[in-house]
Structure 1
Amino acid sequence: MTTTPILSLPEIAAAQSQKHVTHNEALGVLDAIVQLSVLSQAQENAPVSPANGARYIVPAGAAGDFAGQDGKIASYRDGAWSFYAPGAGWSAYVVDEGGFALFRNGAWSGPGEAIVSSTLHGAQSRIVTVEEELSLTGASVSSSIVIPDRAICFGVSTRTTEAITGATSYNCGISGEASKFGGALGIAAGSTNAGVIGPQAFYIDTTITITANMSSFTGGKVRIALHYFMPRVPQI
């Protein structure tokens, strides 16, 4: 049986009997990989009772029905799993992460980073979003994620994911500029702020600091997200 060169769809041969079988198989492949949206890329074992049509990106080292299918798209239909190898440049919306993953250089990356443009020699323009949830205690808390050296930062957004106690409000900023990304921010669960700036270039890895106002933090959590542009120099 011959297949198409890009998606490997089975083609109906001249004078073939049971043409509907080949046609339906091709429709099944299209249904699985076109407008691709997967439930997760961290499912290490195939779910016990998946919904018909459920799709996953198989992570490295997966077991059970996913064993040996690293990086492939797993699609469940009519009681069985099918696996499809992605091609360079394929993207998939990852439901449990709320963003797109991109397949390049033989592996999936993201959500969190999008390559806007690139050259044959490896130079790239990247738009990056990364996040971290901080548990609050004391006068201030610093992030483990950083605005990287040579990044152009657009801002830091915040969400209070667990009501903050102790402080009356909080600031989001960096060393020496405590409220650079927002001051007197809300302590109630669900409070948010889009702390946009300049944008501004940074020339050293820079942590984000959440600082208590009026008194120290005794509890609560804030999720921060960094939004920045990152150039990648030519690789050859």
Structure 2
Amino acid sequence: MMPSLQTARFDLPLLVTSQTQKEVTHNEALVRIDALLHAVAADRIAAVPDLDDDATGKCWLIDDGATGEWSGKSGQLAIWVGSDWRFARPAEGMRVRLNATGTDLVHVDGNWIAAPAIPDPAGGSTVDAEARQAIKRLLDHFRSLGHVTR
């Protein structure tokens, strides 16, 4: 059986015996680790963004209906390395911060999900019902992430 040439979760390239130019493989792995460790995406978009001089190392979460170079890569992270794109498929439970909205997303069952917006109880005679609804929405979200069981 031939050993895999990449890691199982994030397809990081592995070094092999007698490999020439090991630094290329090693640097590729570092680029991916740099993007995926405590992942932060500039935004969730479907079209390749206009890139400026400061774009190297930035990531975007590819939205549904992606076009151009991102076609067929919905849900993946696109990492700009200064001359071309690297793409990372998310692993179950992976988290990413979206800078554009200030939200944190978690990859669960093939989808990126965010915590639900929960309104503050407004007071008056429905305080108990509003509080119960807010608590239920929190519990449902935590259950979807596997943090709370029924």
Taking structure 2 as the reference length, the TM-score comes to 0.76
Q: Deviations over 1:114-162 (max 9, x none)?
A: xxxxxxxxxxxxxx435xxxxxxxxxxxxxxxx6xxxxxxx35xxxxxx
| Sequence identity (%) | 23
Residue in structure 2 matching 1:129, options 100, 117, 125: 117
The alpha carbon displacement at 1:95 in A equals 0.6
Q: Is the 8 A contact 1:129 1:228 kept in 2?
A: no
The corresponding residue for 1:77 is 81
CA contact (8 A) 1:58 1:74 kept: yes
Specify the structure having the higher radius of gyration (Cα). 1
Deviation at 1:6, TM superposition (A): 2.4
Which residue number corresponds to residue 37 of structure 2? 34
Q: 1:5 aligns with which of 4, 8, 33?
A: 8
CA distance in 2, matches of 1:64, 1:52: 19
Cα distance in structure 2, aligned partners of 1:6 and 1:68: 19
Give SS of 1:100's match: strand
Structure 2: distance between partners of 1:81 and 1:57: 13
Q: Distance in 1 between matches of 2:43 and 2:97?
A: 9
Alignment-derived partner of residue 98 in structure 1: 102
2:60 to 35, 56, 77: 56
Offset, 1:33: 1.2
Q: 1:201 aligns with which of 106, 128, 132?
A: 132
Q: What stretches of structure 1 of length at least 5 have no aligned partner?
A: 114-127, 131-146, 148-154, 157-172, 182-196, 203-226
- TM-score, normalisation: structure 1: 0.51
**Preserved CA contact (<8 Å) 1:55 1:75:** yes
Across the two proteins, how many residue pairs are aligned to each other? 135
Output aligned runs, 1:1-236, within 5 Å: 2-41=5-44, 43-50=45-52, 51-110=55-114, 113=115, 128-130=116-118, 155-156=120-121, 173=122, 177=124, 200-202=131-133, 228-230=135-137, 231-232=139-140
For structure 2, the residue ranges without an aligned partner over 5 or more in a row are 144-150
CA distance in 1, matches of 2:108, 2:71: 22
2-structure distance, mates of 1:90, 1:82 = 17
